[in-house]
Structure 1
Amino acid sequence: MTASAENHPRRWVVLGVLIVSLLAVVLDNTVLNVALTTLADPAEGLGATQSELEWSINSYTLVFAGFLLSLGTLGDRFGRKRGVLAGLVLFCLGSLLSAYAGSPGQLIGARVVMGLGAAAIMPLSLAIVTGLFAERDRPRAIAVWSGSVGIGVALGPVVGGLLLEHFWWGSVFLVNVPVIVAAFVVIAIVVPETRSQRPGRVDAAGALLSIAALTSLTYGIVAGGEHGFSQDRPWPWLAAGVVLLAVFLLWERRAADPALDLRLFRDAGFSAANTAIGLVFFAAMGAFFFIQFYLQLVRGFAPLKAGLLVTPFAVAQLIFAPASAALVRRCGIRAVCAAGLLLTAAALAGTVRLATDTSLWVVGGAFFAAGIGMSLVMAPSMASVMASVPRDRASVGSATANTVRQVASALGIAVAGSILTSLYRAGIAPDVAGLPPAARDAAAEALAAAHAV
């Protein structure tokens, strides 16, 4: 049965409940950033190396991206509410495993479980919202949903910093559990079941090919930062990633029920919106990864203060995301998105000039401006994506846009981490020139630990 989209009496309540579960998912994109230096500490954390820190983030993001499309299709077939509830169970289990991980490898594996859960929650929650709102109210509902994504991204470091101020590092994951349990109970009671009248088949081969391609590309980028792109190590992985990506695209063109329906990209609005989403998240997630190292290692701020310094990003999202629909009606989606992209680019480019004595007003102002820019891009772009697909294929449109977002996030973090590691290696090169190669590599890997010493 499908829910009425015109007059569902609980649509705003349903939106609020789904946003609570969504916030937990999105928080985990950035909550770990503020704990990276703690995790790198052998005494207080897990003694993770720089590459292990990047993989603790990207294992979540890559699995999230790789299974979004397939799990969206499963939700269309078997029920979107059922899919969200299953995702919440996986996310809760992954959070518990992450909180009590005894090694970087265990943490990375637990984050994979969290990524699987998130891959079900995000696309299916938006598909439910899209199906319950009439056309007139749908852009506003999607704007609220999109704004909550931006707010969650910015609140992650604050929540993480607050928890690290009083508890051990595992608390940044354990805090998810009561939220997810409460969301599960309320969603089971309040949210109506919906499904597609024309569900597709799950493209398992496509999902596995996409994960293999993205993992190879990400590993190559990370290895380039660790060992230098002048060395041989990163290039086989990068080449394998490109080949696997080409095979994936060929498979999707020929598959009867592709995970990624390339025909959707024939629509100019759909393509432009996804491009804008990818660009803004590539830049934003890379900046969020970098800024925590700057604030904690360079400026010496505690995790809580470092997290609070990026709250202007969340404040801007809270103010401007709901207003973006009205701006689009007045100025047009192209003008609003273009302005948002330019503002985001200018604000984040300014972080390149940060120094040890840069005013904190400059840091906060840059993130406030980036938050405005992201608000002007995300909500209109998501509305454009959802308007480009039939309502009974809402999960496909939502999953595609969120896949683009997660892929861009993973690559942004990988590139930012690679640049950070490369700069660090270059900076310590004169001091470690006399050490054996193995010792030089170890010093280059232990960025946070070496700084602490």
Structure 2
Amino acid sequence: MKIPEFSNSLVRTGRGGRSGVLFAMCLSLVLVVASVSALNLALPNLAVELGATNSALTWIADGYTVALAALVLPLGALGDRIGRRKVLIAGNVVFGAAAVLAACSSSTSHLIVCRVVMGVGAAMIMPGTLSTITAVLPEDRKDRGVAIWSGFAAAGAIIGMLAAGGLLEQFSWKSIFWTSAATAMACALAALLLAPETRSSVRERFDFPGAATTALAVGALVYGIIEGNDRGWTRPEVLAAFAVAAVAVAAYVVLGLRSRHPLLDPRLFTLRGFGAGTLAILVQFMAVFGFFFVGLQFLQLILGYSPLHSAVALIPVAAVVLPTSVVTPRLAKRLGVKAVMPAGLLFLAGGMFWLTRLHADSGYLPFLGALILAGAGIGLTSATGTSSIVDSLGPDSQGVASAMNDTAREVGSAIGIALMGSVFSSHYRSALPDDLSRLPAQVAGTVHHSAAGGLEVAAHLGAQGPALAAAVRDAFMSGFTSAMEVIAAILAVAAIACAAIAPRLGHKTQAAAPQPHWSAGPEPEATARQQATAVGRDTDVLHAVAADRS
């Protein structure tokens, strides 16, 4: 007896058909992704208006992504269990309410808390977008649906920055949150009217230990990176954070191997498509959102662009990503995932390395060349990585597959912002001139804490201002190029790893995530990958691994 794709399998689409489902899910997707990037445009304003330090700015940006990364996997499993649309709509309500409170913030601490709650809402939204698409679309259209989703996931960051840039031209940074709240309500309504309710047909016990260990590992790791840069890498709380992250990862693996109902079976990472796809998505988003964090400040502080002008300057990325994502499935079928995925990472690495050649007097054209190269890499990597993850799991685990894809994206985003923000900040501070001590202590502290603050001080310093502004810009570029060097190296190593482990052809592995031991299994003629469905049966998962390597 075969298990149906989802419990209400007779209802394949909502009122708008498959196009309506794609529209509703991509709208919610863009809201989540845009909220990661949109606030980056307002970071210079926040540094001045709220007196935010570089560390506070990092937490304002990363509080959202940390919560999203830590909770997206368990909340994806919850959506599989109780209904993906139900959780997505509730997430939009939570997101919108937190955005309203964020718009009323008057301190960095309050804003950080609101961003964390928005991240919780985003973690409820994100898994349902992709899992609903893959559950509703027929097999012959699924790859194209995933490619469209991947394109909007990448382009959504640019869309968010364009909207934020337009708002900041006329209003304060608070307008970003008011607009986000209104958009969240529109997303909830679109999902209610256009998307069907889908859920897994398999009933299994929720893995609370797995949810706790994965959330703890992500949160502790990012906390250690951010606070280590700000307070010192040998501080007891920083060392404790890294120790907690390591123990949580080890506990996740041990408990996952022993559990009869694991949130995500650790052995699935030995599947070549699943492992390579996760790695590619992780490092791609490390690069993309780490770049946005410092790249937007380059456009505003070094090139002197307005927020809207800065967002428009990044449009070439979206212009390259969307068409590249659409044609990537055909390239993968012709050339193989093993060729296309590493090529995408190398294109992206090349774009980041190109940025290391910039200096304070560089104009926009060199920056544009890097954007085009990076955009091609993003399109190739995102589509192949997402398809590899989704195709590695069966239809009843599409919520977890989507959540794993989202987890890789958001963990990458959180680590990328934390890592590149930390590298940037440390090199910026070390490159500042020694004669800052001649300035009043409060003024010197402002310059030390952020480049935006330093340029604001220089603008009001009189005769000493131009020299200080030049020094701040040079220090900024030292931090900027160092951050790009680090991420380019990481991308190159990841490309080599994916070339070694990615499946040769872009076929579907469909090694379903484990199901309860009492569930009905596939018919006898099912392939080895389709037989890997019984949780607690080590041999079933090993069959899937063997089939994947054949």
The bucket for the TM-score relative to the shorter chain is over 0.9
- The answer on 1:397 being equivalent to 2:404 is no
Between the aligned partners of 2:158 and 2:354, the Cα distance in structure 1 is 18
The equivalent of 2:23 in structure 1 is: 16
Between the aligned partners of 1:77 and 1:233, the Cα distance in structure 2 is 37
Q: 1:39 aligns with which of 46, 51, 71?
A: 46
Shift of 1:406: 0.7
TM norm structure 2: 0.77
Shift of 1:132: 0.8
Per mean C-alpha deviation after superposition, the further-off stretch among 144-153 and 5-14 is 5-14
- Once the two structures are superposed, the pairs formed by residues 198-213 of structure 1 within 5 Å of their partners are 198-213=202-217
1:126–1:145 CA contact under 8 A, matched in 2:
yes
Shift of 1:33: 0.8
Shift of 1:443: 4.9
- Call closer, same or farther: CA 1:359–1:302 in 2, change over 3 Å: same
- The answer on 1:194 being equivalent to 2:198 is yes
- The answer on 1:343 being equivalent to 2:343 is no
1:226–1:444 CA contact under 8 A, matched in 2:
no
- Call closer, same or farther: CA 1:212–1:440 in 2, change over 3 Å: farther
SS of alignment partner, residue 77 of structure 1: helix
- Once the two structures are superposed, the pairs formed by residues 287-326 of structure 1 within 5 Å of their partners are 287-326=291-330
The equivalent of 1:70 in structure 2 is: 74
Between the aligned partners of 1:7 and 1:62, the Cα distance in structure 2 is 33
- Call closer, same or farther: CA 1:200–1:153 in 2, change over 3 Å: farther
Q: 1:376 aligns with which of 371, 377, 380?
A: 380
SS of alignment partner, residue 3 of structure 1: coil
Shift of 1:171: 1.0
1:217–1:237 CA contact under 8 A, matched in 2:
yes
Between the aligned partners of 2:247 and 2:22, the Cα distance in structure 1 is 41
1:31–1:156 CA contact under 8 A, matched in 2:
yes
- The answer on 1:451 being equivalent to 2:458 is no
- Once the two structures are superposed, the pairs formed by residues 372-451 of structure 1 within 5 Å of their partners are 372-428=376-432, 430-432=434-436, 443-451=447-455
- Call closer, same or farther: CA 1:226–1:431 in 2, change over 3 Å: farther
- The answer on 1:112 being equivalent to 2:116 is yes
Between the aligned partners of 1:21 and 1:161, the Cα distance in structure 2 is 20
1:312–1:368 CA contact under 8 A, matched in 2:
yes
Between the aligned partners of 2:21 and 2:65, the Cα distance in structure 1 is 26
- The answer on 1:327 being equivalent to 2:331 is yes
Structure 1: which amino acid aligns with 2:141? D
Between the aligned partners of 1:183 and 1:305, the Cα distance in structure 2 is 27
Between the aligned partners of 2:133 and 2:311, the Cα distance in structure 1 is 31
Write the deviation string for residues 105-132 of structure 1: whole angstroms up to 9, x where unpaired. Answer: 1111111111111112111111111011
SS of alignment partner, residue 146 of structure 2: helix
Between the aligned partners of 1:274 and 1:380, the Cα distance in structure 2 is 10
2:127–2:403 CA contact under 8 A, matched in 1:
yes
Q: Share of identical aligned residues, percent?
A: 36
Shift of 1:6: 7.6
Between the aligned partners of 1:205 and 1:58, the Cα distance in structure 2 is 25
Per mean C-alpha deviation after superposition, the further-off stretch among 224-233 and 134-143 is 224-233
2:446–2:453 CA contact under 8 A, matched in 1:
no
SS of alignment partner, residue 196 of structure 1: coil
1:87–1:121 CA contact under 8 A, matched in 2:
yes
- Call closer, same or farther: CA 1:139–1:375 in 2, change over 3 Å: same
Structure 2: which amino acid aligns with 1:103? S
Structure 1: which amino acid aligns with 2:17? R
Between the aligned partners of 1:207 and 1:435, the Cα distance in structure 2 is 50
Per mean C-alpha deviation after superposition, the further-off stretch among 45-54 and 198-207 is 198-207
Per mean C-alpha deviation after superposition, the further-off stretch among 154-163 and 439-448 is 439-448
Between the aligned partners of 2:52 and 2:208, the Cα distance in structure 1 is 33
- The answer on 1:261 being equivalent to 2:265 is yes
Shift of 1:51: 0.8
The equivalent of 1:241 in structure 2 is: 245
Between the aligned partners of 1:382 and 1:290, the Cα distance in structure 2 is 26
TM norm structure 1: 0.93
Shift of 1:385: 1.3
Between the aligned partners of 1:329 and 1:7, the Cα distance in structure 2 is 28
- Call closer, same or farther: CA 1:126–1:429 in 2, change over 3 Å: same
SS of alignment partner, residue 47 of structure 1: coil
Shift of 1:204: 3.2
SS of alignment partner, residue 321 of structure 1: helix
Shift of 1:4: 4.9
- Call closer, same or farther: CA 1:158–1:186 in 2, change over 3 Å: closer
Structure 2: which amino acid aligns with 1:18? M
Q: Which runs of 5+ in 1 are unaligned?
A: none
Shift of 1:437: 9.9
The equivalent of 2:135 in structure 1 is: 131
Per mean C-alpha deviation after superposition, the further-off stretch among 441-450 and 279-288 is 441-450
The equivalent of 1:82 in structure 2 is: 86
Greater RCO, CA 8 A, separation 6+: 1
Between the aligned partners of 2:306 and 2:443, the Cα distance in structure 1 is 29
SS of alignment partner, residue 193 of structure 1: coil
How many pairs were matched up?
450
Q: Which runs of 5+ in 2 are unaligned?
A: 1-6, 458-550
- Call closer, same or farther: CA 1:81–1:231 in 2, change over 3 Å: closer
For the pair shown, which has the larger CA radius of gyration, 1 or 2? 2
Q: RMSD value over aligned CA atoms?
A: 2.3
Shift of 1:416: 0.9
Q: 1:178 aligns with which of 152, 158, 182?
A: 182
